[in-house]
Amino acid sequence: GDNGTDLNHYRNFVECVRSRNADAITAPPIEGHWSSALSHYALTGARVNRVLEIDPATELVKNDDEANSYLTRKYRAPFTVPEAV
């Protein structure tokens, strides 16, 4: 059965890839993104020592360039991320 362990998530992901049935996924990737984003925002708030207001449309901190600078990093070639994906 599905008891929520990591093993079941990995198994489900592999089964979906093999079957090419995206509808069978038990945890959509966006949920993982949102969960980890909350941790990143919390850590960033602690680093700048203030409460952050997040713009849900852009997923950036409103009016706070310093805090936004912690949400990414400078990548070195060839390990870069394009501005628009």
pLDDT digits (tens, 9 = 90+) for 52-83: 999 999 999 999 999 999 998 888 999 988 87
The one-letter amino acid at 23: D
- Taking residue 43's Cβ as centre, other Cβ atoms within 10 Å add up to 11
- Taking residue 54's Cβ as centre, other Cβ atoms within 10 Å add up to 17
- Return the percentage of the chain with pLDDT > 90, whole number: 61
Residue 31 pLDDT exceeds 90: no
What whole-number distance in Å separates Cα of residue 75 and Cα of residue 85? 15
| pLDDT value at residue 2 | 53
Assigned token pair, 83 = 């501005």
Assigned token pair, 55 = 């713009």
Assigned token pair, 48 = 């700048």
pTM over 0.75: no
Residue 1 pLDDT exceeds 70: no
